[in-house]
Structure 1
Amino acid sequence: MDTLPLQSVFKDFEKFINQSKTVILGTLNAAVEAEASYAPVLRKDGKFYIYVSELAKHTHNLLENKNLTLLFIEDESEAENIFARKRATLKAQARHIARDSEGWDNIMDAYGEHLGETAKMLRNLQDFHLFELTTIKGNFVRGFAQAYALSGDLLNEVRPMNDRGHGQSQLKDEDKPARSA
C-alpha cells in the first residue's frame, strides 16, 4: 500500500484534475431525477467554470438547482486496472454568471485560452451560460485501498478513508437490499 504523506496526495489530486479539460456532471432535473452529462471545464483560482448551451439538459438543471456532482476519471486506456481507476468526485454548487457581470470577460478569456478556438467561437452565442462551480467536499481515489476524503476551501484537507477496508458490508441489516427469488 502507498504511504505517501497526505500533502503528496493533495498534490496528486491537483495534478490529476488540472490536466482535465472536461468534467462529467451529475445534475438533478425538475422531477428530481439524476442526469449525467459532461462539459469542457476551466479551473481558475480554486473554482471550476463551465460554459454550456441551453440545448443541454444540464444547463436548465443548474438554473433550477444549484447542487451538482463533478466527476473526473482516468481514461480506461490509461488505467492499470479498470476496477481501480483514478477518480475525483466533488460535491459542488453552481452560480450563474451573467454576461454583464464584472469578471465575465476575464473568465471567458481564460476559458478560451485553456480550451482553444471552439471555446473562443462559442463566446458570443447568446444561448450559452457561464457557471462558476464552487466545491464543498469530495473524494479522491488513487487506486485500490487508496481513497481519501477532501474538505476545506481548496479541498486541501485530506483524510484517508481506508479505515474500513473491503470485504465486510458496512450496511445495517435493515438497510441491505432484500434477496431476490
Structure 2
Amino acid sequence: MSQIEQVQTEYQQFIEPFQSLILSTANDKGLPNASYAPFIVDEAKNFYIYISGLSTHTRNLSTNPVASVLFIEDEGKSEQIFARRRLTFECTASELPRETQQWEQIVEQFQTRFGQIIEAFRGLPDFRLFQLTPQKGRFVVGFGAAYNIRQDDLNQLVHISGGGHGKKQE
C-alpha cells in the first residue's frame, strides 16, 4: 500500500471514534466562539448537531451560518504534541425545520447513537438541528504530512507540497 493510500484509509476512518466535534463559530461582529457538540455524519460527510438555542454557538450559527469543525487526536495518544493528527472542515450551516421528515430521520439517528436523552431534547422547543456542510478541509497526520480534501470529492486527499516549515512564504 502506498503512503497516499495509507493516509487515505486513515482519513476515511479518522472520525469513527469521535462522539463530538469541536465547533468554531463567529457572531455577526466576527467575534469567535469555540465550543463542542455531539454529532452524527451522513455518507456525503454532512455533519449534524442538535443544540440548545440558549447556547452561544446556536445564536452564532443563526446569524452567521459558517463554522469550522475540528477533530483532533487525544493528547495522551499523540507521539508529538506539536504534530497531533487532526481533521478540519470549513462548513456552511443550515437549520433543519422541526417536525419535517428529514428532521425526524436525523433526530432518530441521534437517539440511536446517544440514547434516551434525545427523547427529552425533542420536547424542548429551544433545541435546534443544524446541518454543517463541508466546503473544504485539511487532514494533518504529522510534520510535512498535510493533505487538502478535494472540494469536488470530500473522500479524496491531495498532498500539500512546497513551502515547508522554516521557509519564507511568498
Normalising by the residue count of structure 1, what TM-score does the alignment of the two structures yield? 0.86
Structure 1 partner of 2:66: 67
Structure 2 partner of 1:23: 21
The runs of at least 4 consecutive aligned structure 1 residues that moved more than 4 Å come to: none
Q: What secondary structure sits across from 2:101 in the alignment?
A: coil
Structure 2 partner of 1:104: 103
Q: 1:153 to 1:100 in 2, by over 3 A?
A: farther
Give the whole-Å Cα distance in 2 for the aligned partners of 1:28 and 1:108: 25
Normalising by the residue count of structure 2, what TM-score does the alignment of the two structures yield? 0.91
Which amino acid is 2:143 matched to? Answer: F
Structure number, greater radius of gyration: 1
Q: 1:116 to 1:100 in 2, by over 3 A?
A: closer
Q: 1:51 to 1:83 in 2, by over 3 A?
A: same
Taking the TM superposition and a 5 Å limit, the aligned residue runs for 1:35-74 are 35-46=33-44, 47-74=46-73
Give the whole-Å Cα distance in 1 for the aligned partners of 2:132 and 2:152: 13
Structure 2 partner of 1:136: 135
Give the whole-Å Cα distance in 2 for the aligned partners of 1:13 and 1:120: 32
Structure 2 partner of 1:151: 150
Shift of 1:115: 2.2
Where do 5+ consecutive residues of structure 1 fail to align?
Answer: 173-181
Where do 5+ consecutive residues of structure 2 fail to align?
Answer: none
Is contact 1:18-1:43 (8 Å) kept? no
Give the whole-Å Cα distance in 1 for the aligned partners of 2:167 and 2:73: 27
Shift of 1:113: 1.2
Give the whole-Å Cα distance in 1 for the aligned partners of 2:133 and 2:60: 16
Which amino acid is 1:15 matched to? Answer: Q
Query: CA RMSD for the aligned pairs?
Result: 1.8
Is contact 1:53-1:127 (8 Å) kept? yes
Percent of counterpart pairs with the same letter?
Answer: 38
